[in-house]
Chains A and B, each alone.
Chain A
Amino acid sequence: MNDASLAIDVRGMTKSFAGHVVVDSIAMRVRRGEIYGFLGPNGSGKTTFLRLLCGLLRPDAGEGTCLGFDVRRQSDEIKRKVGYMTQRFSFYEDLSIEENLDFIARIFEVPGRARAVRESLVRLGLENRRRQLAGELSGGWKQRLALAACLIHRPELLLLDEPTAGVDPKARRDFWEELHELAARGMTVLITTHYMDEAERCHRLAYLAYGRLLAHGTVEEVVGGAGLATWAIAGPDLFGLAQTLRRRDGVEQVVPFGNTLHVSGSNPAALARAVEPLAGRGYRCERVESGLEDVFIRLMSASEDNFP
């Protein structure tokens, strides 16, 4: 099936480095106009998967399409229509902001190049610093420049690798607003992130660990699919309490969240038996909805058990 409404439709994507499987038979379907979050611990293979999609790496196995083009054979066509923002800043530090944008615009043969560059500078809010060298920008500004450069050829698909790492909250919010605006106009975005609040802003998301896709869907689907019950507990000496709780039956995960502890388990009845006695001893116990973070931590530790 080759559904035109899918921007990404791949199956069985596999890549190993020196015999070590880094991306393990991943299938992914992303609809056009969707913001798709891609999460997973460090080294889980997110960057590698993005590189496979845009033809920077050749998959060992797997097939499918990206924007309707074959990922294995048509990477030239894919590259023209994709904006890929690398995890590490990879524009020229010894070129100015304007020169970098101009270079990318030339390489993509953007029509009306001068205007495109100027508009991009205006959108960035960097018109009056356009002659500054990219290497002199602060980390957050570099990220914004990189995003602007990825957008200059009006790609249909954006692959963003941790675009908001090190960006301040206000800039992050502006950034997400822009992403939603672009998506509303039909652009597809696949974005990796380690921030939970960003994960919750995605239309759908996928969670990857050790190269395997462990969960995917909307936030609700992912949380619901994990079948995890969670209690929030507040009271004195939470650190000591965490140690005792970890040893009790039914408790699979104890995570401190500021002044509360999140205690989770997959068997709600057993978890309730373990937690309820605390209520009489000066603790405030409350059944809460499991959050994405609870679910991800659970997924990660469960997968550690599966891959010793």
Chain B
Amino acid sequence: MSRYRFRFRRFWAIVAKEFIQMRRDRLTFGMMVGIPLLQLTLFGYAINADPKHLPTAVFCADPGTFGRTLTVGLRNSDYFDVRREAASEAEVERLLRLGEVQFVVHIPVDFTRRVLRGERPALLLQADATDPAATGNAIAAVNQLADRALDRDLKGPLYPLRAHVGPVKLQIHRHYNPEGITQYNIVPGLMGVVLTMTMVIITALAITRERERGTMENLLATPVRPGEVMIGKLVPYIMVGYLQTLLILLAARFLFRVPMRGSLPLLLAFMLLFIAANLAVGITFSTLARNQLQAMQMSFFFFLPSILLSGFMFPFRGMPGWAQGLGEVLPLTHFLRLVRGILLKGNGFLEVWHHAWPIALFTFLLLGIGIRRYRRTLD
């Protein structure tokens, strides 16, 4: 039966055909390049999980110098955009209620005096916390700011007071991304998200399209084998996947200046595994879908949990147990850890391989289902 096994020439015929079709289908090809660019712009520039320049009002009841110093410090900070100096409690309340400011920094009447006495006066920060993500970092920032702003005034004989200033002593250590630059986290993650989105859709469509247009009937009537068709269809898209990766890596390096500490070849090797995982999902969907619309819907059905539960959008550790369990199944979850590990932490193979095997397992399972379900007949 060896005559009827995998034949390279037939496989290559499929590859060549897919390339021609890809070249002709300008819109889809444009999308494959366009989606990474669009997402890069959106996530890289427009969407910022660490917002700055938040509208702020200062209510300074303290006539002393430190009150002034602190107000100036707030004005100079990136996080706060001091728009108002409120004159009364009532005004503070109104500003917050109307949403005109996100924060009000309240400097108490005897602030200067109590700092000088070393009494650690309280600074009141009132925040509109309806959007906690927008306020979290700013609240942390105010602590450091109070310290630093006052440091300059506490000189000479006042120096010993330094140790006591600040409403609360809170230290925040941010590892690997000390400045908390969102792009460092997002841009490498985008690679995984873009690949998940495009690879699944493209393969799901590529095979469903043959069935929908009736060309499958012709293909099935030829001696071509399922393995030849499937792998033949995957090869061109693996290349597309690498093209997208390259695009994002270039942007990460030169536009967002994301550090690349680990080995690039290692990353590219794992990339192949991840691309294969997504293509396997696409193939499996294509064996289930009756038409291209269904294939598209299934792809989105897969894409949503991937983006929400993988730790791309929300911190993985913040999710409830069941959501983490679901997230652990998804290849994107492991890929994100892998990419961040390699790019940001400079992890080597031994440190990341335990993120790789779940992806490999997932791929084999899905590919098995896909090939089993691929029908060699029309019924």
Contact = CB atoms under 8 A, between A and B. Distances in A.
Given A55-B377, A95-B20, A107 B221 contact: no
A104 B217 contact: no
Contact of B214 (A51, A90, A99): A90
Contacts of B220: 56
Interface residues of A, number: 29
Interface residues of B, number: 27
Contact of A95 (B17, B221, B223, B224): B17
Contacts of A173: none
A93 interface: yes
Interface in A174-225: none
Interface stretch (B4-12, B264-272, B363-371): B4-12
B218 interface: yes
A90 B377 contact: no
A94 to B, nearest CB: 5
Interface string A51-91: 10011111000000000000000001001101010101111
Nearest to B229: A107
Interface string A105-121: 01111000000000000
Interface in A20-78: 51, 54-58, 76
B10 A92 contact: no
Contacts, number: 74
Nearest to B1: A76
Given A56-B378, A57-B377, A76-B223, A103 B217 contact: no
Contacts of A89: 214
Interface in A123-138: 133
Contacts of B378: 51, 56-57
Interface string B232-276: 000000000000000000000000000000000000000000000
B213 interface: yes
Interface in B124-143: none
Contact of A57 (B13, B24, B218, B379): B379
A133 B13 CA distance: 18
Contacts of A84: 218, 221
Interface of A: 17, 51, 54-58, 76, 79-80, 82, 84, 86, 88-95, 99, 103-104, 106-109, 133
